[in-house]
Chains A and B, each alone.
Chain A
């Protein structure tokens, strides 16, 4: 068996558990610790059943073991409120933090668009934007790498069951952070994000519509090719990332209609919005792991 980079997951909820199941299949990542705060957490029990070490004392319960267990990457799947603290503590132990919360204290990372930049910059904390951002920013970038996008707008429609209490309490954070990601990573001069929650049963699979306004007449052929190439890139880590319609062209408007189905590891298939977060987080960690294994990057405390 080839050498793997050892990691810890903080937050044994739905996201953390789904991430753990995906990470168990990784060729370069070995999940070692699952960190929670509740001794009766079903997520910690599941992790133990899978042979993972657990603590219910939060990150403080993990820190004393990080060096002896050679933990070089941590994932935070808790909440924005505690992320900064968690990140500081694991960084001090020389581990990279992959942030799946909306805290966004580190640079945004959307794997097929700018993961290489984050790794090249040796960032010790990278943020995964939002679920809507992971699903749509690659498409904005697919257009903006062909020609100037003056305005990028995304509409994410998600099933009610897939929207947790954290997102509900601060839905503005979703719209603001996603719009910012559409600009900074998607490459649109101005970004706009809309989220719609639908309670239909059976739950609908995540839908995303991406509208870009180009500065000049869109080069239809080049944009269509770029979009298809980008879809293929995302499909490498989210196989259920599907172009439903488009790109369609109406004057300077380019519209792309996507559906995002998850792998159904721990989260149900319709929750493509959550799956794309865990898949993107893992993809990010794998890229770091490859750099570490190749000796090009040695994560260290600042």
Chain B
């Protein structure tokens, strides 16, 4: 693979996807300290939101340590060169949240839907694309669940609503490099040449780096990762590792590798409540194709009802659950516990 001279933009997820393993309890001060250090390391774009996006504060997904507005206001003020993005899932957040985030000073809004449901993002993407200077990104989650041809139809819908960049998102960390290559290459061929293309990986099968490289090779120019991999499931593509590989391959990111390593080691790892890594449960997510943020919910329900988290996750995969259905986990665990008792 020859990627020599390719320029890409990396996008750090620690302060959004990383909210999942922290059960949304990262404090405003911790966010500011990390954002400032990432700014000094030259990371161009970082995401700051509740793990489930704007308006995610809920019983279903977890109440955060501070509001989206408090996080965004503090981080946007603290950074100099680094830009800040926010995530929005229609059905959870609304255009009111989007406007609030813009007022806080974000430069990028990412509107995320399940891979087959892009048309619910029209309202939000078209509004965002009319805000001057706002980088508007469409984000198709669980992209492993449909073939490349169907995925491209959905990406084109987001493009038609006004997204200047669209993402293929491996929310379950299920994809293998060939899956990524096929999807990104077809999208690159079918989308307008000026539409940017991104890939968001999870490391559940240990494929974060390999998949991200495959994406760059096939035409993606934005890659998501998080320092020390702080993200849902086994984490996102570990960004400092990806940066080191990019350096070796001659891919230009503009990030200071050693400074990025230090932020990962000195600020992110000490923050972790548990080591974010491939364990049998996060591995099951990747193997069974399950939304990564289900991990801790499955572990909690398993502990409460004396079940195996792996059994719960496999069943959630079999039922083809999608992102946002966290309420199904406890519901299913209660059913499984009852069935086992009566068996």
Which A residues have a C-beta under 8 Å from some C-beta of B?
A: 151, 153, 155, 157, 160, 165, 168-172, 174-176, 192, 194-200, 204, 207, 209, 211, 213, 244-245, 248, 253, 255, 257
Asked whether B94 is an interface residue with its Cβ less than 8 Å from the other chain, the reply is yes
A3 to B97 alpha-carbon distance, docked (Å): 52
Residues 290-326 of chain B, each 1 if its beta carbon lies under 8 Å from chain A, else 0: 0000000000000000000000000000011111110
Could you list 15 examples of A-B contacts with CB < 8 Å? A153-B59, A155-B60, A155-B327, A171-B120, A172-B124, A192-B58, A196-B323, A197-B322, A198-B321, A200-B319, A209-B327, A244-B331, A245-B334, A255-B330, A257-B327
- The reply on B190 being an interface residue by CB < 8 A is no
Q: Which residue of A lies closest to B60 (CB)?
A: A155
Residue among A160, A165, A174, A209 with max Cβ neighbours from chain B (10 Å): A209
B123 touches A157 (CB 8 A): no
- B97-138 vs A, Cβ < 8 Å mask (1 yes, 0 no): 000000000000000001011011011100000000000000
CA distance A174 to B92 in the complex (A): 10
How far does the alpha carbon of A176 sit from the alpha carbon of B123 in the complex, in Å? 14
**Contact yes or no, A170 B123, CB < 8 A:** yes
Q: Which residues of the partner chain B approach A199 to less than 8 Å between Cβ atoms?
A: 114, 116-117, 322
Beyond A170-B123, A172-B94, whether A196 also contacts B330 by CB under 8 A is no
Contact present for A209 and B331 (CB under 8 Å)? yes
Closest to A165 in B: B119
B120 touches A211 (CB 8 A): no
Contact A175 B120 (CB under 8 A): no
Contacts A172-B90, A209-B327; is A160 near B116 (CB within 8 Å)?
yes
Closest chain B residue, CB of each to CB of A253: B59
A197 nearest in chain B by CB position? B117
Contact of A196 among B58, B91, B95, B124 (CB under 8 A): B91
Measured CB to CB, the closest approach of chain A to B47, in angstroms, equals 21
List the 6 closest pairs (A to B, CB-CB), nearest first.
A209-B327, A196-B324, A211-B59, A200-B320, A172-B94, A199-B116
Q: Determine whether the beta carbon of B325 is less than 8 Å from that of A157.
A: yes
B residues in contact with A168, CB < 8 Å: 117, 119-120, 122
Q: Is B149 among interface residues, defined by CB-CB distance under 8 A?
A: no
Please report the C-alpha to C-alpha distance between residue A192 and residue B60 in the assembled complex, in whole angstroms. Answer: 10
Q: Taking the nearest CB of chain A, how far is it from the CB of B119, in angstroms?
A: 5
Contact A171 B91 (CB under 8 A): yes
Chain A residues positioned under 8 Å from B322 (CB to CB):
196-200
Q: How far is the CA of A195 from the CA of B324 in the complex (A)?
A: 9
Residues on B with C-beta less than 8 A from A157 are 324-325, 327-328
Q: Contacting A197 at CB < 8 Å: which of B91, B124, B320?
A: B91
Closest B residue to A157 by beta carbon equals B325
Please report the number of residue pairs spanning A and B whose Cβ atoms sit closer than 8 angstroms.
91
Interface size class of B (residues with CB under 8 A): 20 to 34
Find the A residue at minimum CB distance from B331. Answer: A257
Q: Which of B60, B319, B320 contacts A194 (CB 8 A)?
A: B60
Q: A194-B60, A196-B323, A200-B321 are in contact. List 9 more A-B contacts (CB 8 A).
A: A172-B90, A175-B92, A194-B92, A198-B114, A198-B320, A199-B114, A200-B320, A209-B327, A253-B59
A155→B89 CA distance, assembly (Å): 14
User: Is B95 in contact with A172, judged by CB distance below 8 angstroms?
Assistant: yes
**A residues less than 8 Å from B122 (CB atoms):** 168-169
B60 near A211 with CB under 8 A, answer yes
Task: Return chain A residues, CB-CB under 8 Å to B323.
Answer: 196
Collect the chain B residues with CB atoms within 8 Å of residue A244's CB.
331, 335
> B residues touching A (Cβ–Cβ < 8 Å)?
58-60, 90-92, 94-96, 114, 116-117, 119-120, 122-124, 319-325, 327-328, 330-331, 334-335
The distance from the CB of A170 to the nearest CB of chain B, in whole angstroms, is: 6
Q: List residues of chain A with CB within 8 A of the CB of B334.
A: 245, 248, 257
A151 to B119, CA, bound (A): 30
Evaluate contact between B60 and A171: CB separation under 8 angstroms. no
A213 B335 Cβ-Cβ under 8 A: no
The closest CB in chain B to the CB of A192 belongs to B58
Are A195 and B91 in touch, CB under 8 angstroms? Answer: yes
In the bound complex, what is the Cα–Cα distance between A200 and B318 (angstroms)?
10
> Can you name the residue of chain A whose Cβ is closest to the Cβ of B119?
A168
Residue of A nearest to B321 (CB): A198
Residues of B within 8 A of A171 (CB): 90-91, 120, 123
B91 touches A198 (CB 8 A): no
CB distance from B169 to the nearest CB of A (A): 16
**Within the complex, what minimum Cβ distance (angstroms) separates B23 from chain A?**
15
- Please measure, in the bound complex, the distance between the C-alpha atom of A209 and the C-alpha atom of B329, giving whole angstroms: 11
Contact B94 A194 (CB under 8 A): no
Q: Which of these, B59, B114, B331, contacts A213 with CB under 8 Å?
A: B59
| Residues on the B chain within 8 Å of A169, using CB | 119, 122-123
Contacting residues, chain B, for A192 (C-beta < 8 A): 58
User: Closest CB-CB distance, B86 to chain A, in whole Å?
Assistant: 16
In whole angstroms, what is the CA distance A187 to B88 when docked? 28
A151 and B58 CA atoms in complex are apart in Å by: 10
CA distance A172 to B324 in the complex (A): 16
CA distance A170 to B121 in the complex (A): 9
**Most chain B CB atoms below 10 A, which of A192, A198, A244, A255:** A198
* Inter-chain contact B324/A194, CB cutoff 8 Å: yes
Q: Determine the chain A residues whose CB is within 8 A of the CB of B59 once the complex forms.
A: 151, 153, 211, 213, 253, 255
A209 with B117: CB separation less than 8 A: no
Q: Of A151, A153, A204, which one neighbours B60 at CB under 8 angstroms?
A: A153
Across-interface contacts of B117 in A (CB, < 8 A): 160, 168, 197, 199
Complex CA distance for A195 and B327, rounded to whole angstroms? 12
A155 proximity list for chain B (CB < 8 A): 60, 324, 327
Q: Write out the residue numbers on chain A whose beta carbons fall within 8 Å of the beta carbon of B120.
A: 168, 171, 197
